[in-house]
Structure 1
């Protein structure tokens, strides 16, 4: 068995053994330790300690002990709680609850860290995507772990059900069960609340403790310690922040109104789970049926919850979250009203199981959809968002268990009802706020873009340097891009430090690479005489270029020195992620007209646009009869052709996550019967003014099987991604000939197009037009950030009418070498990108340690609408000239 998978199974079964014990014991606390509310008080203290622990302990313990020993020591904290229940009192349960709470957060953090490192480690060895392997590992873990709720409750019911002293509960005692159960009634109801025989309790606790000890032994004996180099790699991949920074970020997020309105909904999750575990089990089940039925009832809840979590995850693709939240509210509202009115009696045996089943169904909605909601709303600040989620949910648990011993059950139900109503009001406000921020219907001019109506802008007031198109760049003659200074215009101009005669006084240029950067980047920089940054021997700011495949942290941009460059701008994800690109192009199309942005296929973001897609699909189906259009479905957060589905019949549309559905270009221009596309490299050196360079050479990628619309499931005929086609039967290592894995350069492609009568100059002007208009869609929203550049990969498809279509825009286009054409194009590309950035000038600043002022621009970074219209006019004039030329 593969080492990493073995470790995943060890952790999974270790957690299964531990939480089989803890889950069963938690369900019994309100019934087993009902004297003076000791059981629920211990749970309240436990979750309070968990809140404090999650803020400070996990990073410290993981760094000092490592993941393996943090897991083992944290499990021992759970065993201490099990032992405290053998002699339950305020002096044993409260301290052990604190110990468990302090160990809970490090346990889960260490588990997540271990699985993440294991997934990335295996992915690196197997040449796969780390995120995919991590998802698989977490899937295996939860598949095994989720069954712990069944086994723990089954053990308690089987053991406690053997008591020979189970007597029938009197009718008088039954009147004190249900919504009007209270502390005094519980004290008098000696029949229902009598503890089982202590021998049975000790037997159950012995099984639970033994299960916990086995979990620790399993981890200590069979779990491998993570290697030091893997830990260091993970620390570099995941930006490490101090616990205090995370705490501050958590509370800073409260400045976002959406987070404030979501607090009741998040706390509701703790309230409703606390009521079921602390009050329903005690005042309804134990009071009416006996403590030995608690386990069976909670099994019903756990099984329904697990099943519905998977079911609602599928349904949400078609209904959206609003429908599911409404359904969950309806279920809980009905249950609360019914519990207020219901007088439990043993003769209504099935009803005792119906309520937890319905509660489990609703809880599945709250757990899956609330987590998903946080992920969508706070995508740029996930760590702080989910820290808020854990904080407010845990606080809900603390309050629910805390007041459990002081209030009658019917009052608790009214509290639940109030919190549920407040939750839905807050959630409704958040949805309303989101709808207001979604793309609006077409308007003549967007105030976000222009700041003023177009008709009020005089022709002569157009900014002097709104768009700078650098043109093609190649070889040593590449122009140097700079902000154009505007003499005499004061602060409205853009200025950069002047160039200096560097002579021989410069220090060697220093580059810094992230672990995942292809080795060719290092080779090219070494060829140019650069040296690699060594954090052990050099000052942390003594570097010129930091290159990584993933976006930089906001602090990297904030702390950048004048002599340094980063290879990513912030916010460019707005065109490099498929759904964001579609949304921004749709917005620009609505503002400036569809004719200007007709290069983008019609797109729908699923599941949010499911109804709109159905309407469009039905409309085309009716107009074209059985010959409906072809559609392509792409996961929004995957690359390299993974997860793509091409279909004609909507019955074939299946997806498990957020996807984008677009019109499939079913009439591509073919070469020898094979589909092909262009990978165009574009370098942006400034967004103020927008300065664009397109690389003269690029790659033409071919499918490895002939194009055929009758076989839509044949990815080797419809996709051109090398990562897909290299597994095809026609792919050959020599890559000689179309259809065998070969690539062309742009030069060869343009020569071929001229040979068949295509005006390649006009075609390339249209492609450049696509590049510029796409980048204009995000220019106003890119923060004014100094000393950055961005290398994009634009994927362009040409149809049989010689019209270019934009397929997608890639952040950090692949720079790995697959063939000799790759080496020719990509190596020259990297050399010319470095030439573009004029590093001799920047290194002068590094030598003087930043005495000079950073490059600055006082522009308000708003794109003028008339400038865009004039750009379009100038393009149309160029196109007419090109069309009419002899």
Structure 2
């Protein structure tokens, strides 16, 4: 009985959404133009942020400023998730994307002057803008896909899936382009320089001040890198303002389908009564922890500590490529094996790598192992990111 009620309720919700966007106000070409603009906006925005995130704990080492910055970003992101529907309700999907990408730009500019007074407030600002950005992206993309499906008389789910595929094909490459820039520029500033003391690298770095063990890139190189990332971020803002069409129906849909933030909190609490969903909470928590480890601890304690900060870009390119390919494979493999098998696979891969990283004592000659670990971690990350969706 409860399943039948749930199905009827979902169908009613879908019908309401489809009616709200039934009148496709754009041509077919214009829908695809908006999709490409949205994809490029996210590519430019996260090319900058992704690369900054990778080197944050290695460049801003004073009193753990880089670590603290990332912790604040993801902590405030968690809080902003409850406010995202309300933000989109009042500003609409397009302008939420514009304001949020601008906040990412501010974070890039803040790294020109890395201090607690500047970087920490900008980390809060970025974190609180991140959830509205992603919810607005999903709202805009889904609304556009439904409008196009009505226009070409095709099943909406197929068009939504196609749009998501194009969007994330662009987005997932941000780890490649940003890290290529990071390696090329920082390597010029640390040429022929290697860390002189690797005794406190790897698992031994816990609680150890390793910044003295590593050569610092030149200030000019770091400034140039952040300058390029800031320009990339501003390109994202420019694209979203000038070329992304506003869709009034997206705002209407938010108004009819979402209530206040309090209603959203109460709905979330009610969902906790579902035992299967409750069991997923540790998985959701782990996905945040494992990304914090690869972007923060692994880059600083294993890559920068043994190879220098310029090597972070190259190793993380391997992680990004592995993540992209594995995400595509997992999407197809799930139809054959089911999600339980993939969750077990991802858990085994990450557990094995964590055990190895704990007992392994990295050195300056152990460069190829870093690439293998990055590729393996990308496989596990792809499993958890795709199967939790």
Check 1:4–1:182 CA distance in 2 against 1; reply closer, same or farther (3 A cut): same
Deviation at 1:72, TM superposition (A): 0.8
Q: 1:315 aligns with which of 310, 313, 333?
A: 333
The number of residue pairs the alignment matches comes to: 362
Q: Does 1:234 align with 2:258?
A: no
1:198 is aligned, of 210, 219, 225, to 219
Residue 36 of structure 1 pairs with residue 63 of structure 2? yes
CA distance in 1: counterparts of 2:234 and 2:117, whole angstroms = 23
1:243 aligns with one of 253, 261, 269:
261
Q: 1:164–1:260: structure 2 CA closer, same or farther, 3 Å change rule?
A: closer
Contact 2:88 2:251 in 1 (8 A): no
Shift of 1:258: 2.7
How far residue 61 of structure 1 moved from its aligned partner, in angstroms, is: 2.6
Matched, 1:60 2:78: no
Give how far 1:232 is off: 6.6
Matching residue of 1:207: 228
Aligned position for 1:112: 138
Partner of 1:5: 32
**Structure-to-structure mapping, 1:403-802, within 5 angstroms:** none
- 2:263 maps to 1:263: no
* Alignment of structure 1 residues 811-830 onto 2, 5 Å: none
Q: Can you list the C-alpha shifts for 1:691-730, whole angstroms capped at 9, x where unaligned?
A: xxxxxxxxxxxxxxxxxxxxxxxxxxxxxxxxxxxxxxxx
Partners in 2 of 1:164 and 1:265 — Cα distance? 39
Give yes or no for contact 2:50–2:174 (8 Å, CA) kept in 1.
yes
User: Which structure would you say has the larger RCO, counting Cα contacts within 8 Å and 6 or more residues apart?
Assistant: 2
**Which structure has greater strand proportion?**
1
Indicate yes or no: 2:199 matched with 1:181.
no
Q: Are 1:284 and 2:305 counterparts?
A: no
**Equivalent position to 2:242, from 221, 224, 236:** 221
Give the CA deviation at 1:265: 2.0
Q: Which runs of 5+ in 1 are unaligned?
A: 372-886
- Cα deviation for residue 201 of structure 1 reads 0.3
Contact 2:190/2:216, CA 8 A, preserved across alignment: no
Partners of 1:69 and 1:326 in 2: CA distance? 40
Is residue 318 of structure 2 the alignment partner of residue 300 of structure 1? yes
- SS at the partner of 2:361? coil
**Distance across 2 between alignment mates of 1:178 and 1:11:** 39
Task: Give the Cα–Cα distance (whole angstroms) in 2 for the partners of residues 78 and 231 of structure 1.
Answer: 23
User: Structure 1 residue 185: deviation in Å?
Assistant: 3.8
Alpha-carbon separation, structure 1, partners of 2:66 and 2:108:
13
Deviation at 1:233, TM superposition (A): 6.1
Asked if the contact 2:139–2:250 (Cα under 8 Å) also holds between the matched residues in 1, the reply is no
2:103 aligned with 1:85, yes or no? Answer: no
Structure 1 residues 12 and 181 mapped into 2: Cα distance closer, same or farther (>3 Å)? same
1:344 aligns with 2:370: no
Output the CA distance in 2 between the equivalents of 1:282 and 1:302. 17
The CA distance in 2 between the partners of 1:326 and 1:235, in whole Å, is 37
Contact map agreement 2:92 2:251 (CA 8 A) in 1: no
Partner-residue secondary structure (3-state), 2:112: helix
- The one of 42, 45, 67 aligned to 1:15: 42
User: C-alpha root-mean-square deviation of aligned residues, in Å?
Assistant: 1.8
CA 1:174–1:248 in 2, change beyond 3 Å: closer, same or farther?
same
Residue 296 of structure 1: how far off its partner (Å):
0.8
Q: 1:340 Cα shift?
A: 1.2
TM-superposed CA distance for 1:164, in Å, is: 5.0
8 Å CA contact 2:86–2:260 kept in 1: the answer is: no
How far apart, CA to CA, are the structure 1 residues paired with 2:157 and 2:109? 39
Name the structure 2 match of 1:749.
Answer: none
Q: TM-score, normalising length from structure 1?
A: 0.40
Distance 2:359 2:130 in 1: 38
Per-residue CA deviation, residues 416-446 of structure 1 (Å, 9 max, x unaligned), is xxxxxxxxxxxxxxxxxxxxxxxxxxxxxxx
Post-superposition CA distance 1:381-412 (Å, at most 9, x none): xxxxxxxxxxxxxxxxxxxxxxxxxxxxxxxx
Change in 2 beyond 3 A, CA 1:124/1:260: closer
SS in 1 for 2:217: coil
Q: What is aligned with 1:330?
A: 348
Shift of 1:253: 2.1
State the shift of 1:121 in Å: 1.6
Partner residue of 1:138? 164
Cα 1:235/1:338, change in 2 over 3 Å: closer
How far apart in 1 are the matches of 2:67 and 2:311? 19
CA distance in 2, matches of 1:225, 1:272: 36
Local SS of the residue matching 2:258 = coil
Alignment partners' CA distance in 1, 2:346 and 2:222: 36
**What residue is the counterpart of 1:612 in the other structure?**
none
Ranges in structure 2 where 5+ consecutive residues have no aligned partner? 1-27
Q: 1-side partners of 2:159 and 2:190: how far apart?
A: 52
Q: Which has the higher helix share?
A: 2
Does structure 1 residue 122 correspond to structure 2 residue 157? no
Structure 1 residues 325 and 296: CA distance shift in structure 2, 3 A: same
Give SS of 2:82's match. Answer: helix
